[in-house]
Chains A and B, each alone.
Chain A
Amino acid sequence: MLSLAGYHIRAMLRNNGILIWVVAFPIILATLFMVMFDGMMSNQQAGTIAVGVLADGNYQAPAAEPLRAILGALAEEGPGEEAFLALTSYADADEANDALIAREVEVLVTVDADGAPQMSVPPNSLNSTHEAMVQAVLDRYLQSEAAVSELARNDPAALASPEAVAALTADLMGDEAQTAEVSVLRVDPSEMARFYYALLGFSTAMGANVASVLTERLKANLSPVGARCQVSSMQPARQLGAVLIASWVIVFCCLMAAFCYIRFVANVSFAGREALAPVACAACALVSCALGMALWALPWLSANVKDAVLTVGVLVLALPAGLYGEPALGLSDWLTQHMPWLQAINPSVQAANAFYALTYYDSLVPFFQTLSTILAIAAVLFAVAALCMRRQRYASL
């Protein structure tokens, strides 16, 4: 069985298509991520928001002076910090509206006759966080005015003197009430790192190509080698075992190569737990082999169709893992919260989760739970492969 596994490994090393898929593809994608994320800023902070202001008579009136002061202060750069707002003034309402529609500015602020601000967003607005942040600033301005009125109505004595009103106004705009951001994870999380973990999940599914090609070599109706194997004296179960050993060794080495590239070349943190990465790669390689063997053991589909199913299947499985950018990450989080069972049966998602849990949690329990899920998926897929390969009849050879 071991010598057959050795032959399988040598055959795979001569297969250019497989080498491109399993070795080159993850490294090319990781390199692409490195190039793309170089200079890419985290979007945890809002960045500078382009705001248009209709600088008409209402805006220039004394009633709007506090608003002008607030917007002006937010448009100033702090020491080492970029400005929160980038203000563009428009003298004409049509000009301001055109700029908003053309998305030269993200939000347009106008002022009514009473000096109260109003806000406009572009058509087809995605209700973005930037718009909500400007809205929060304007809400705070209006609420400060409302707070003065509320206090005057309920406790007039508190605002008996002009000094008291001034003190209240200053306090409303002050910063005595603060929040402190705390970090609960072992290392600071990063959106970019999630793409790399998703890439490892993608590579896991991609590795199924190895087992698929080797399983094809066992099927009497798919290749001359398969026909020879079927009439040989070795039992099908042992042949399957040889395929499993060979494909596991290859996929494990490929995953380790991808992991080392991501860790040492792309410099993605695994928080000092790199020693456990081979364990994760071993489990991922196993489920990868099981996936390929199960698909190729199915007797109903042609090799070409199986090839396409596997190719597109790998791409589809990587979607909930969050590989395809921010929308995919959002979908991944949504599925995790609303359809966890769907994520639980997806080997790509579980493989990505294993590296994620390894890096971020204090406890290793989530990591080993994820590995258990991966092994359970592998067991089910192996059972499917074994059932389909057992005592199979071929209509024509």
Chain B
Amino acid sequence: MQVFKIALRLVRRNWMLFAIYVLALSVMGVFMATGVGGGLAGSASADASYEQALPKAAVIDRDGSAVSRALTEYVRANSTFVEVEDGTFALQDAAARDVASYVLVIPAGYGQGLLEAARSGGDAPELECIVSYMGASGSLMDEKVRSWAQELYALAAASTAPVEELVSWVEGVQDARVPVSVAATEQEGVPSAYLIYCQFATYPLFGGVAAIVATGLASLRDPDVRRRVGASCVGEGSFARQVGAAIAVCGLVVWAANAAFGLALYHGSLEGVPPASVALMLGALLALGLVGTAFGFLLSQLGVSHQVAHAVANIASMVLTFLAGTWVSIDQMGAGMEALARFTPGYWCVDALGAVYEAPAVTGELVARVASDALLVALFAAVIALVAVVAGRARRQRALA
């Protein structure tokens, strides 16, 4: 057990790597989760009720009529309103930086033109808009604006009432809204923010473990150390087994640290969620942690320098998380990419996480699906570990030759 203890001591000496790779990357996961799934404690309540998505919108009113003022107020009430100046640079800035998902430009004479068109049966003058390339929320706002203008057009075509009255009728009509409810489930589901956190945990659990293991145990590959070990009574097999055990402990510690960090941060929003759901998600992540551990073992057996270890671990992590659909949903990619992703462990881990998130309750079917995904991920770990053993043996034999 001496080698095992030494290996653990070596890894422990690199505690700063733990702090950087595990904590810093976990914090990145929290940032990502906050951006998509809401805050830490607040996410549970946000998930429990439905609120319509509000796009960021701005209005440039070049008309100044009662119609344009009412339309501006409508946009303000149905969006997260932002102020944008009327100028080429300001509009470019708003579009380029995505300051507003939707910028409505009401041309001069629009209000009068709409009324005249409605009463003569012609087409209303066009409103101009700048729709953001980021997401469909700008298109949503555009649809709402067209609806508002069409309602005013229809009322103006039907009635000769003054424009102020027509506008007030249209404003009154906006109160008619469809009631929206959230489907009830037997058990409370996992909050979105925690799902995103777990999805991003694939990075530290794979790349972090690999980099820590490969860098932390670098000195065990030092030629002088290898010579001393070769002259000692510790057999080659025993040495490899003890180092492997130390690497496995290292992987477990990283997984536990990441899991504990997530549970500590999201414990408020996880209240009411069945512990089995959380356990299933952590089980899938543990399987991926084993893959990271095996990959670290492979890097260690290949004897790469610490710089190469960092580079390879991070490149592999980026590719893995990308193909898993952590960065961009795999649904948005082509069928070829999804087929390719199926040959990576991250895909199956994220699939298991998604299955738990979407399941209305923890059932035997869900447990079986997550277990099969986790088993598949663990098989990747076994194959990589096997390759590492073979590569390490071949390398040692070459060194002796």
Contact = CB atoms under 8 A, between A and B. Distances in A.
Contact of B139 (A44, A97, A159): A44
B154 A124 contact: no
A100 B97 CA distance: 36
A42 B215 contact: no
A213 B174 CA distance: 64
B136 A45 contact: yes
Given A39-B334, A129-B53, A178-B126, A172 B307 contact: no
Contacts of A155: 158-159, 161
Contact of A46 (B21, B136, B155): B136
Contact of B32 (A43, A101, A178, A328): A328
Given A120-B183, A308-B21, A324-B32, A189 B169 contact: no
A263 interface: no
Interface in A303-321: 304-305, 307-309, 311-312, 315-316, 319
B129 A180 contact: yes
A110 B95 CA distance: 38
Q: Which of B25, B28, B165 has the most CB of A within 10 A?
A: B28
23 contacts: A118-B180, A121-B181, A121-B182, A123-B183, A133-B140, A139-B147, A154-B165, A164-B158, A172-B154, A176-B117, A178-B126, A179-B126, A181-B128, A181-B129, A185-B92, A304-B17, A307-B306, A311-B20, A319-B28, A319-B32, A333-B97, A337-B97, A362-B88
Contacts of B135: 43-44, 129, 326
Nearest to B44: A124
Contact of A124 (B134, B178, B326, B357): B357
Given A180-B129, A304-B215, A324-B327, A151 B136 contact: no
Interface in B218-265: none
Interface in B6-36: 14, 16-17, 20-21, 24-25, 28, 31-32, 34-36
Contacts of A41: 332
B142 interface: yes
Contact of A179 (B25, B142, B314): B142
Interface stretch (B188-196, B280-288, B370-378, B382-390): B188-196
Contacts of A327: 32, 35-36, 196, 327
B158 to A, nearest CB: 5
B133 A190 contact: yes
A10 interface: no
Contacts of B296: none
A396 interface: no
A28 interface: yes
B230 to A, nearest CB: 26
Given A182-B128, A209-B307, A363-B89, 9 more contacts: A18-B307, A44-B135, A118-B180, A120-B181, A129-B55, A139-B177, A150-B172, A171-B154, A176-B122
A282 B31 CA distance: 31
B337 A35 contact: yes
Contact of B150 (A175, A182, A356): A175
Contact of B189 (A102, A123, A164): A123
B136 A44 contact: yes
B358 interface: yes
Interface stretch (A141-149, A231-239, A386-394): A141-149
A346 to B, nearest CB: 13
B214 to A, nearest CB: 12
Given A324-B32, A334-B35, A312 B20 contact: yes
Interface in A162-214: 164, 167-168, 171-172, 174-185, 188-191, 209, 213
Interface string A30-55: 00100110111111111100000000
Q: What's the dominant secondary structure at chain B's contact region? A: helix
B138 to A, nearest CB: 7
B145 A127 contact: no
B360 interface: yes
B182 to A, nearest CB: 6
Given A136-B140, A146-B176, A309-B20, A36 B183 contact: no
A316 B28 CA distance: 7
Interface in B94-150: 95-99, 104-105, 114, 117-118, 122-124, 126-140, 142-147, 149-150
Contacts of A191: 133-134
B179 A119 contact: yes
A363 B306 CA distance: 45
A169 to B, nearest CB: 8
Contacts of A183: 130
B37 interface: yes
Interface string A347-368: 0000000001100111100100
B185 to A, nearest CB: 5
Contacts of A101: 183, 185, 360
B394 interface: no
Nearest to A37: B333
A221 to B, nearest CB: 18
A308 B215 contact: yes
Given A154-B165, A171-B154, A328-B32, A36 B178 contact: no
B349 interface: no
